Amino acid sequence: MAAAAAEQQQFYLLLGNLLSPDNVVRKQAETDMFEKFETCVALHK
């Protein structure tokens, strides 16, 4: 049972490492979009 749990954790760590760069890029894009939106709103007040 413990071996299976450790194997599953290893899998999720690997999966997390594979996905994390995409998450960083997406997060950066979202942040940039949000800042542009904030600027746009500020200009139209």
Residue 41 scores a pLDDT above 80? yes
Q: Per the confidence metrics, is the pTM higher than 0.85? A: no
pLDDT: which is higher, 7 or 22: 7
pLDDT, mean over the chain: 84
Three-state DSSP class for residue 18 = helix
Average pLDDT over residues 20-40: 83
Full DSSP string of 20-40: HHHHHHHHHHHHHHHHHHHHH
Name the band, by pLDDT with cuts 50, 70 and 90, for residue 1: low
Q: Is the pLDDT of residue 14 over 70?
A: yes
